[in-house]
């Protein structure tokens, strides 16, 4: 039986949010879609847009939840239940305030780190044992500015750095889908 993987990019739907920092997870899926010639289809029962392909002898599903960030888990859990994809075969890409713009890190398990999309995913999936691709978008000066910061566009310099980081991850995508997570971590975490 062919194994299945679910690659999720977190973001907010609608053109209003398309170029904001909070949509870095969507940008990652857009980069993969460009490289793999994927086309997304809106599927109502999943409350998201989905693309599928076979890579490294595995069926790979690419999901952008269209539920808005705070309810991302609904869409993710609907896809994982329908296709019987276990937690350890899910990767969720999301923006992260703990890293400078363009820095990317992989992490398995752990808390939500204050990210509402990850928080909802953990709740809806009933566990945290999934892989996270943490995409650095920088950090505002004060905590009070966090919401407005992630819902604004990055500067041109930051955007360039984030895109370069996402391209770097996409270059290592074969390691990720082949299950060579430690090797992928070594490459990504050695990034400057």
Which residues are catalytic, by number?
A: 22
3-state secondary structure the chain: CCEEEEEEECCCCCHHHCCCHHHHHHHHHHHHHHHHCCCCEEEHHHCEEEEEEEECCEEEEEEEECCCHHHHHHHHHHHHHHCCCCHHHEEEEEEECCCCCCCEEEEECCCCCCCHHHHHHHHHHCCCCCEEEEEECCCCCCHHHHHHHHCCCCCHHHHHHHHHHHHHHHHCHHHHHCCCHHHHHHHHHCCC
């Amino acid at each position: 039986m062919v194994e299945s993987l679910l690659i999720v990019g977190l973001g907010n739907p609608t053109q209003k949010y398309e170029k904001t920092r909070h949509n870095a997870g969507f940008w990652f899926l857009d980069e993969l879609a460009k490289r793999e010639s994927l086309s997304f289809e809106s599927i109502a029962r999943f409350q998201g847009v989905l693309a599928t392909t076979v890579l490294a002898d595995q069926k790979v599903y690419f999901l952008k939840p269209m539920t808005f960030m705070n309810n991302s888990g609904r869409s993710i859990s609907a896809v994982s239940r329908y296709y019987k994809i276990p937690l350890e075969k899910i990767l969720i890409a999301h923006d992260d305030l703990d890293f400078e713009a363009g820095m990317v890190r992989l992490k398995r398990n752990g808390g939500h780190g204050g990210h509402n999309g990850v928080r909802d995913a953990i709740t809806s999936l009933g566990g945290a044992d999934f892989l996270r691709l943490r995409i650095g978008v920088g950090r505002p000066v004060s905590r009070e500015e966090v919401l407005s910061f992630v819902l604004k566009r990055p500067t041109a310099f930051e955007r360039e750095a984030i895109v370069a980081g996402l391209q770097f991850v996409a270059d290592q995508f074969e390691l990720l889908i082949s299950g060579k997570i430690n090797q992928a971590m070594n490459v990504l975490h050695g990034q400057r």
